[in-house]
Chain A
Amino acid sequence: MMHNQLDRLIWRRHRRLFLATGGLALLGCFMNTMLSLHSLPNGPVQLVDGNIQKWDVYSSTYFSAFPYWIVAAYWMVGLLMMNQDLKDNFNQFLFTSGFSRQRVYWSKIKVAMLGLLVIAALTLALDYGLTYGIALTMKSAGVGFHLAWPGVLTSVIVGLLSSIGMFSLTWFAALIVGQTGALVVTIVGFTFSLVGSSTISVNILRESGVTLNAEQQTWLMGAGWLVAAIILFVWGAALYNKLSLEHNGEYLLFPKLKVPVYIVFVVYVTSLSVWGTDGWSLVFWFLASAIFGYCWLWRPRLGEMFHQWRSRRG
């Protein structure tokens, strides 16, 4: 799988991460499938309903055509692969290794994508295989498992695109944030906020006169993830070239990004929070996000400043 020295070096460095993540994804999928099928009723039942005929992501009580454990694996690997190299000082070695930074960056993405594709394939095989196997053994009890291409293809393609999008988000965040704790808080918060922002996006489209059915929304979301991933990967490549390791341990590894990140944070949080509410909410959320963002990014030592002010007065 890894044909050149650099790919082998990166695989050697991160193979434990892939093994652990793959193991967790498989275990999680196995547990999930067993728990879902454990509650099967005694009578005849179809594990997959008619929605599998739609060009939409399929998920029901007994079967999910794209296990969320795969999305979680992509999210986790994006975060850890970039953050571990920074935290464990492997970047120092990579930057002196005789490979250009661009090659290192794209090689890391290549190795990650290949490793994650194997994890995704194995997890999907386990999900489909286990459900099919159980259905086969319970065939006499009237349990049926019938798949259809539209639901399966949409689930796998859009699921993989979303997973790559999630990977690009955590990858990019770990590239620009130099503190592990703060990185986790930032990226977990942002990931949860995506649920709200996708709902708002659909509403904005509807209000703009663009009405999409569920299938179209699903494919649009997949395309959106793909575009976002490409932008973040390319932007990340440009930043990686300028990464200077004296900023290790600072919240932002690129000090020039501080003001743009602040503006994006305030606009994003305010617009997400005030959607569909009144003007007072706008003022409140704008002030709250502006103050929180300032304290988070610039970390003013408020206690120290207060003591200095008090001692000057005294």
Chain B
Amino acid sequence: MTLQVTQLSKQISGRSIIDDISFQWAPGEIIGLVGRNGVGKTTLFRTMMNQYVADAGKVTVDDHDIVTTPEEQRRIFFLDVQYNFLDNYRLWEIPDFYGTVYPQFDHQRYLALLTQFKLDKNSQYRRLSKGMRALTNMILALTSNATYIILDEPFDGLDVIVRENIATMIIDEIADQEKGFLISSHDLNELDGLSDRVLLLKDSHLVHDYNLEDIRAKAKKLQLVFKDKQIPAVLKDHSQLIRVSGRVLVVVITDYTPEIDQQLKALQPVLFEELPLTLEDLFRANLAHDTGYQLMK
């Protein structure tokens, strides 16, 4: 069972927003989608779901194109947080719609989760706070029992308790390997603890498809202090500067080889310490326009 996005492209007002995007997604995976503001994360979701008509490319579920076989769309859940129709409905009314579309929608569990999270089923959606809406969206996503669940910025602007609740719900749900999540988020720390894989969008393209385990095996984040102020060539060639504080450099080397290790140690740094590598470091390392050393003049 897989969902396959193939060469998906979309232009809006003559500007290419997403271009030639391809990736595969299987149940059991939690994929993070990261990229700078306006890079096209939400446009990718909307085009995947046929809300925006794609200029090229297709989305297939088990080799069935969702445009020609629309029933397959019911295996994908996507609730647009910016543009949805829920505002005027009370929470108890919403399953009337989702229950019709998703054949395995779990009405009982929906009501139970509303109660568990102290959400009043008689409240109108538009009267909910941002955090309550995010929780409601998450409850709908989970109780739809769709195989592929797309979450657009589910942690945006939420307090730590709600974020933890949402993250816990996702992890619990993935345990039986029957569901997959594709999550876009600016909160890279939150994704760090959740995702197995991260897709990186840049300049309308999917520039990296990281398997975080592999990346962590190859990349290193180092804190270094050298005797003189000169930046060694090995760093300029192979690393991205994450932070500088006085003579203390924090760098990420995405492909850390024994040769680089030897060259660095040969320079006899005053401080050579390995730090835990986070998704944020990778994001900075890959999305910075230059390696950062130009700023140190």
Residues of chain A at the chain B interface (Cβ within 8 Å) = 5, 8-9, 12-13, 88-93, 95-100, 242-246, 248
B117-161 with Cβ < 8 A to chain A: none
Inter-chain contact A244/B101, CB cutoff 8 Å: no
Inter-chain contact B73/A96, CB cutoff 8 Å: yes
User: How far, in angstroms, from A12 to B51 measured CA to CA in the complex?
Assistant: 21
What residues of B have a CB within 8 angstroms of the CB of A95 in the complex?
49-51
Kindly state whether residue B90 has any CB partner on chain A within 8 Å: no
Inter-chain contact A13/B83, CB cutoff 8 Å: no
Inter-chain contact A245/B46, CB cutoff 8 Å: yes
Kindly state whether residue B96 has any CB partner on chain A within 8 Å: yes
Kindly state whether residue B110 has any CB partner on chain A within 8 Å: no
Inter-chain contact A92/B83, CB cutoff 8 Å: yes
Interface string of B88-113 (1 = CB under 8 A from A): 10000000110011000000000000
User: How far, in angstroms, from A99 to B83 measured CA to CA in the complex?
Assistant: 20
Inter-chain contact A93/B85, CB cutoff 8 Å: yes
B51-110 with Cβ < 8 A to chain A: 51-53, 70-74, 76, 78, 80, 83-85, 87-88, 96-97, 100-101
Return the contact of B84 from the options A89, A98, A243 (Cβ within 8 A). A89
What residues of A have a CB within 8 angstroms of the CB of B217 in the complex?
none
CB distance from A301 to the nearest CB of B (A): 16
CB distance from A136 to the nearest CB of B (A): 44
Return the contact of B88 from the options A88, A246, A248 (Cβ within 8 A). A88
Provided the pairs A5-B100, A9-B97, A9-B100 are in contact, do residues A96 and B50 lie with their beta carbons within 8 angstroms?
yes
Residues of chain B at the chain A interface (Cβ within 8 Å) = 12, 43, 46, 49-53, 70-74, 76, 78, 80, 83-85, 87-88, 96-97, 100-101
What residues of A have a CB within 8 angstroms of the CB of B74 in the complex?
97-98
Inter-chain contact B73/A12, CB cutoff 8 Å: no
Return the contact of A92 from the options B12, B84, B100 (Cβ within 8 A). B84
The 7 closest A-B pairs by CB, nearest first: A98-B74, A244-B53, A90-B85, A89-B83, A98-B73, A96-B49, A97-B101
What residues of B have a CB within 8 angstroms of the CB of A13 in the complex?
97
What residues of A have a CB within 8 angstroms of the CB of B78 in the complex?
96
User: How far, in angstroms, from A234 to B73 measured CA to CA in the complex?
Assistant: 25
CB distance from A20 to the nearest CB of B (A): 14
User: How far, in angstroms, from A95 to B70 measured CA to CA in the complex?
Assistant: 9
Inter-chain contact A98/B12, CB cutoff 8 Å: no
Inter-chain contact B73/A97, CB cutoff 8 Å: yes
Inter-chain contact A12/B70, CB cutoff 8 Å: no
Provided the pairs A88-B85, A93-B85, A99-B70 are in contact, do residues A245 and B51 lie with their beta carbons within 8 angstroms?
yes
Interface centre among A9, A13, A98, A248 (most CB of B within 10 A): A98
| A-B contacts, 25 listed (Cβ < 8 Å) | A5-B100, A8-B100, A9-B97, A9-B100, A12-B100, A13-B97, A89-B80, A89-B83, A90-B85, A91-B51, A92-B80, A92-B83, A96-B51, A96-B73, A97-B74, A97-B101, A98-B73, A99-B70, A245-B51, A245-B52, A245-B83, A246-B12, A246-B43, A246-B46, A248-B83
